[in-house]
Structures are given as structure tokens and as C-alpha cells.
Amino acid sequence: MDINRLQFFLDAAQTSNFTETAQRLHVSQSTVSKYIGDLEKELNVTLFDRTGARLRLSWAGDALIPWARQLVRESERFREMARALQKDIAGQLKIACTTAAGKYILPMLAIRFRNRFPSVDVSILACQPPNAVNILRCQQADLAVVSFEISSTDMECQVFFYDNIILIAPPDHPWVSREEIRPDDLLEESMIIREPTSGTRRAVLAALASHDISQEDLKIILELANAEAIVSAVASGFGVAFVSHASANFALEAGCVKEVPVRAITITRKICMLRSCAQPISRPAEIFWGFIHEPENAESIRKLGR
């Protein structure tokens, strides 16, 4: 069976559009149609319902998705093993990331890892926290970086780093000249917050609850699902916000925003890395699992997460 056909099938199932699939895979739409058509002939099933504006998986296509993923993943492992036999650490390393802080720290580590093992292709995949474990179980990623610990017989969890969440304000904000503010000062100021599924938001609300401050007590003017957008909004003077230190680090160093200490509030999150115990782990993933704790990397992570 042609593994490329399976890869085209999986991409088309994700996009529900042959044109978008062709753009993602850098081929023509006719190539996508041919590969999927050839696969349907080989399997003697219809994989997609082609009526209407967008593609829809047929019941047979939906049933075959997990098997297609497993075959594609096994073919990648086969190639990795062949390269490993040549004493070369090679193959793919896919890391799912659910945290804003991880988006800043992982690229730095990925570049260092790639410099040491140039035959490894590293991909960082953004995903929502509820999906991280399923992505590992479906073998769509080798590792996952999350803002929660997990206790499961089929998952191994290790601490990656500790991330501080800080309050930031525009450089000309009155709070910047103060040594610290009181928690109840937050009630008077326009605030920008993350979306409900964000680990940062949950951690902030839990810390404020210890001072009898609820979400309803805050003057929330904007909700954004992107840490970078929040930092930009604060820098533009629209309000104040709690964000990951790693997310705000560049803006802090550039003087675009300032950190404002809040009395008796210190918010630190434990960022963890997960891997599946149910499937054999690839050699690149196994090496990266320990690579993150090498002294040089641990120190760089500590400075960013602070």
C-alpha cells in the first residue's frame, strides 16, 4: 500500500477540502484527487461523500481513519529504525503544545536539538489542552507539553519547567511607579483575560479567589485566546493583564510593558511533558525527553519562565 495515499487521505479528512489539502502538501488539486481516488479503488470503498460544498467522510472513511494513522506512524518508525541501524539519530519528532509559555521555550530547544541531531525533523503542533492526551494516544505526536499533571497507566508525566504568571501594564500606567498594588486595586482597572479553557486564566482566578475576588468582580473588557495579542493590547494601553512571563519576556525587555507586583499573589504553574506508555517511543523522542534537562537547557528555561 502506498503510504503517500494514506497521508493524502488523512490530510483531506482534516481539511474537508481537496484544494486546501493540495496547498498544505504543495501539490496540485488533481494530484490529491488522483491519490484518494486510487486509494478508494484499491480498498474498494468510498472514503468521502463529495456532495455539497465541502467533503464529508463516509462511514467507511471515518472507520478507517485510526488505521490509516497507525500505518503512517508505523512507516515513519520503520524509517527511523532503519536510520538508527546506521548509528544516526534520525526521523521525525512531533511535539504537541497546549501552553503559551511552551510556544516560546520549545522553539529554542528544538533548534538546539536539531543542531546536535541534524537528521531529526522537529515539528511543534499547537493544540487545545483537552486534546493533548488524545493526540498522544492516536500517535499524532510523540510528546506533549501541557499545564497539568496526569495520573494514567498509559501516560508518563515529567515536570518540564515552572512558569510564573505576572501582571503587566502599559509603561505609563500609574501602577508602574508603585512598589506593589493591593489585590483589591484590580477591581478598579480594565482587564484583558485569556479564554475559559486557558490554564493561565484558571490559575489567575484561583489565586484571586484566595483574596475573595471572583471573575464577576473584575472589570473585564476583552477576552483573547492568544497571549501575544494580550501583550500587544496591554502595550497599546487598553488595560492590564495576567500573562505568562515567557509570553511577555520580549515586550518586557523592549520596555513596551511593565511588570506590576501584586501583594500576596504569586502564581506559578507546573508545566509538564507527557509521553505514551502504550506505544514504543521513537528514538528522537526518547533522547529529547532527557535533553530538556541538560544543564544549559535547564538554565535557559529557568530564565524564560523565571
Per-residue pLDDT at 21: 86
* Last residue within a domain, chosen from 52, 87, 122: 87
pLDDT at 253: 93
Task: Please indicate, yes or no, if residue 150 is contained in any of the structural domains.
Answer: no
Domain boundary among 34, 63, 87: 87
Specify the pLDDT at position 198.
86
Q: Residue 178's domain is classified under what CATH number?
A: 3.40.190.10
137 located within any domain:
no
Average pLDDT for 56-80 = 85
Whether residue 127 is contained in a domain is answered as: no
Q: For the domain that residue 52 is a member of, what is the CATH number? A: 1.10.10.10
What's residue 278's pLDDT?
A: 83
Q: What is the pLDDT of residues 143-197, one digit of tens each?
A: 999 988 888 888 999 999 888 999 999 999 999 999 999 999 999 999 999 999 8
Determine the Cα–Cα distance for residues 153 and 282; give it in Å rounded to an integer: 19
Please report the pLDDT score of residue 53 as a whole number: 66
What is the distance between the alpha carbons of residues 176 and 38, in angstroms, rounded to a whole number? 64
Res. 88: pLDDT tops 80? no
Q: Which residue has the higher pLDDT, 54 or 261?
A: 261
Decide if 300 is inside a domain: no
Q: Do 170 and 83 have their domain in common?
A: no
Choose the weakest-confidence range: 76-80, 94-98, 284-288, 297-301: 76-80
State the pLDDT at residue 41.
Answer: 93
Percent over 70 (pLDDT), the chain: 95
Residue 101 counted as domain residue: no
pLDDT digits (tens, 9 = 90+) for 189-245: 999 999 998 889 999 999 999 999 999 999 999 999 889 999 999 999 999 999 999
**What is the percent of the chain with per-residue pLDDT over 90, rounded to a whole number?**
56
CA 293, 100, 230, 223 torsion-angle sign = negative
Angle, alpha carbons 287-291-297 (nearest 5°): 165
pLDDT number for residue 85: 56
pLDDT at 305: 60
Count of domains observed in the chain: 2
**pLDDT tens digits for range 3-47:** 888 989 998 888 888 888 888 888 898 998 999 999 999 999 999
Say what the pLDDT of residue 101 is. 76
The answer to whether residue 217 is domain-embedded is yes
Tell me the residue range of the domain where 240 lies: 164-268
* Residue 66 reports pLDDT greater than 60: yes
- Identify whether 147 is part of a domain: no
Please indicate, yes or no, if residue 13 is contained in any of the structural domains.
Answer: yes
163 touches 271 (CB < 8 A):
yes
- Rounded to an integer, what distance in angstroms lies between the CA atom of residue 160 and that of residue 96? 14
Q: How confident is the model at residue 81 (pLDDT cuts 50, 70, 90)?
A: low
pLDDT recorded at residue 207: 96
- In the block, cell 483575560 appears at 193
Q: What pLDDT does 299 receive? A: 81
Domain boundary among 87, 122, 151: 87
pLDDT band at 87 (very low <50, low <70, confident <90, very high): low
Q: Do 96 and 145 touch, CB atoms closer than 8 A?
A: yes
Looking at every residue in the chain, the average pLDDT score rounds to 89
Q: What is the pLDDT of residue 24?
A: 84
| Residue 80 clears pLDDT 80, i.e. is over it | no
Sign of CA dihedral 212, 215, 218, 223: positive
